[in-house]
Structure 1
Amino acid sequence: MTTFLQFHLLTVYGPSNPNRDDQGRPKQAMVGGAPRLRLSSQSVKRALRESAFFALDLADHQGKRTKRLFEKLKEKLVEEGASPDAAHKAAEQVAGIFGKLETPDKKAPEKIVATTLAFVSPEEWRLAEDLAARILSGEDLPKDKDLRKLVLRRADGAIDIAMFGRMLADDPDFSRDAAVQVGHAITTHRALAEEDWFSAVDDLNKAEETGAGHLGEHSFGSGIYYQYVCVNVDLLVSNLDGDAALAAKGLEALARALAIATPTGKQNSHAHHPRAAYIRAERGMQAPRDLTGAFFRPISGDDWLDGSVVALEKLVKDLGDAYALPELEHLRMRVGRTGEPGYVTLEEIAAFAAASVSAA
């Protein structure tokens, strides 16, 4: 049986535009026939990976998503004394292991990038550098798939790749299934984007021109967002090559980051730095279920946060009753209720998440 760790969060955003569409407007979705604001799962995962809890606490266990592996390998080889031509050939051979390469600028054939982003773990990066050095030395090496096996790994210590997965189209044997599923966050109530016109004044032309020196516009919105995240704890440990301690540390970081990290679009314009107002963390072997259905009927009334919490908890009970399932082991955090029976702190939520590994 598989152990699942699930998070349900409610976070209040003031006027902001943390995740934009191709028109620069807040992303949106229709849910239950009502317009909602939305944060894409991709933007949330990026915010988690960039958070201090990952970038600092797990710095040695984070992969790099890049098209510039060739460039970095070549630079290192040249720094270590290789000729530019020899370094170019070795770096090109190794970088090609992660995907097809191209020369974007025909006038600069020495500049090569990958056609797609490669998600490279720290161990694979070290092995790539080692292989490039071995190629330079003239060592007799295997070809094609056997060469790739010298670099690519199905499991290692890259916490973000283990959590969020990767796809290698040219060698799917080394793709990794994501152990962490992240839903698109939506507002629990009806919400529409608003348009804002703004102007700027020319500081050196105040006397001659009293009007604006610049006119512009951008969109924003606000609301209470529901976020769902599901972790396959067994798969996470497997993706980390059986390192249970690292998996526990990663889950603790994930719990903390979910409460605080946010997509940063237009953050300088709106200073949005929200923290989750409510978290429900659950673990057990039951099949996972998200609680988006609690909000298909948009929340209304005088207190949208309280209404959102009530609707979410009601769906938990209703699903348990309908499917005759025992209640999952869980903890709840709610701002303003700390110390009251049934509510804990973020510290306890993070410890609960980490302990899911021993429960798996």
Structure 2
Amino acid sequence: MTTFLQLHLLTAYPPSNPNRDDQGRPKQATVGGAPRLRLSSQSIKRAVRVSPPFQQGLAGHMGQRTKLMGDMLRKHLIERGADAETARKKAEEIGKVFGKIEAADKKRPDALQGTTLAFISPDERAFALELADKAFAGEALPTEKDLAKTVLRTADGAVDIAMFGRMLADNPGFNREAAVQISHAITTHRAQSEDDYFTAVDDLKTRNDDSGGAHLGEHSFGSGVYYLYACVNCDLLVANLAGDRALAARGLRALVQAMATATPSGKQNSHAHRPRAGHIRAEIGSAAPRDLTGAFFSPVKGEDLLEASVTALTEMAGAIDDAYGPAADRVQIMDVRARQGTLAGLEEFAASALGQQDD
């Protein structure tokens, strides 16, 4: 049976605007008929991927999302001594395995850029560079049919690709199903964005000059307690990592740490929002996963919204277990204000979902 690791987090954000819509305002959603603030799952995944637990803790096992793989190959060949025309031709032949190449830009006729962002693993990058070196040495490139098999992989050591998946429209056989699903985070209570009217002063302006600010503007922000849910298919994670259970365990530890501490960075210089999860419920089991958003369809109320949110979350988990049976074989809680549990303990708990510890 499949083993699932489920994470439920409650995090209190100060006035901030970490994830903006097209108008520059905090993203919002209507849940249970009530307005809420929202953080998109895309912004959360990005924050997780660029966080220190991932970038430092999983160095060498991180993919790159880019349109510029072809241009990197072109520059590599030029550095090896190839002329510009040959470098571009060979780089385009190899680079198209990651997606279609855009038509040459008049401003940068030599640049090579894909039409879509491709998620590329370190192994695939190395294979592409090796192929470019062989082409420069005079070897013929594989046929278009065999090129994908030479460069692309369905499983390797890229933890972020194994977790969050990828789609290659031109080579769907090398798509990877995401082992980790992350929800949009919503406030557990009614919340709406606010507008701030601000001015800035010209430092060189003297008292004899006209009074008033030299610049005025408007800025939106909001605050609240956010509920965030994540589900990990542990068996799929191991399979996506070519069976490397130790690396998968490292990835789970990094995921728990990043989700507890990393935040989308929009307007961070203006607000210094760096919250940490106040309550985390981690569950391991083989039952069908379920989120606990239903705890907040009726917005929580009261003077202590975090405490009310913890109570609602716990009661909903118990109610679902009573109705459907236990959703997990094991549960571990970290609650900051109750001084219950530690992040290190949750990391070890998450890694135990794989049935063994890493080295």
**TM-score under structure 2 normalisation?**
0.97
- Alpha-carbon deviations, 1:202-233, whole Å to 9, x = none? 11123212111001111000000000000000
- After the TM superposition, which residues 161-240 of structure 1 pair with which residues of structure 2 at under 5 Å, given as runs? 161-207=161-207, 208-240=209-241
- 1:356 corresponds to which of 334, 347, 353: 353
- Number of residue equivalences: 356
Q: Secondary structure at the match of 1:48?
A: helix
- Give, in angstroms, the shift of residue 103 of structure 1: 3.1
Alignment correspondent of 2:36: 36
**TM-score under structure 1 normalisation?**
0.96
Unpaired runs of at least 5, structure 1: none
- Give, in angstroms, the shift of residue 40 of structure 1: 0.2
Worse overlay, 265-274 or 64-73: 64-73
- Give, in angstroms, the shift of residue 83 of structure 1: 2.0
Answer yes or no: is the 8 Å Cα contact 2:11–2:226 preserved in 1.
yes
Quote the sequence identity (%).
59
Answer yes or no: is the 8 Å Cα contact 2:4–2:286 preserved in 1.
yes
Answer yes or no: is the 8 Å Cα contact 1:244–1:357 preserved in 2.
yes
Answer yes or no: is the 8 Å Cα contact 1:224–1:305 preserved in 2.
yes
1:59 counterpart = 2:59: yes
Worse overlay, 165-174 or 83-92: 83-92
Distance in 1 between residues matched to 2:145 and 2:116, nearest whole Å: 20
- Alpha-carbon deviations, 1:22-52, whole Å to 9, x = none? 0000000000000000000000000000000
- Give, in angstroms, the shift of residue 138 of structure 1: 2.4
Answer yes or no: is the 8 Å Cα contact 2:286–2:328 preserved in 1.
no
Superposition CA RMSD, Å: 1.3
The residue identity in structure 1 corresponding to 2:235 is D
- Alpha-carbon deviations, 1:279-321, whole Å to 9, x = none? 0000000000000000000000121111101110101110011
Answer yes or no: is the 8 Å Cα contact 2:70–2:112 preserved in 1.
yes
- After the TM superposition, which residues 11-26 of structure 1 pair with which residues of structure 2 at under 5 Å, given as runs? 11-26=11-26
Distance in 2 between residues matched to 1:226 and 1:104, nearest whole Å: 45
Q: Secondary structure at the match of 1:161?
A: helix
Distance in 1 between residues matched to 2:114 and 2:61, nearest whole Å: 23
Q: Secondary structure at the match of 1:108?
A: coil
Distance in 1 between residues matched to 2:167 and 2:13, nearest whole Å: 33
The residue identity in structure 2 corresponding to 1:143 is T
Alignment correspondent of 1:308: 309
Worse overlay, 139-148 or 328-337: 139-148
The residue identity in structure 2 corresponding to 1:167 is M
Q: Secondary structure at the match of 1:102?
A: coil
Q: Secondary structure at the match of 1:100?
A: coil
- Give, in angstroms, the shift of residue 198 of structure 1: 0.7
Alignment correspondent of 2:155: 155
Alignment correspondent of 1:344: 341
Unpaired runs of at least 5, structure 2: none
Distance in 2 between residues matched to 1:16 and 1:242, nearest whole Å: 41
- Give, in angstroms, the shift of residue 18 of structure 1: 0.2
- Alpha-carbon deviations, 1:148-189, whole Å to 9, x = none? 110000000000000000000011100000000000000000
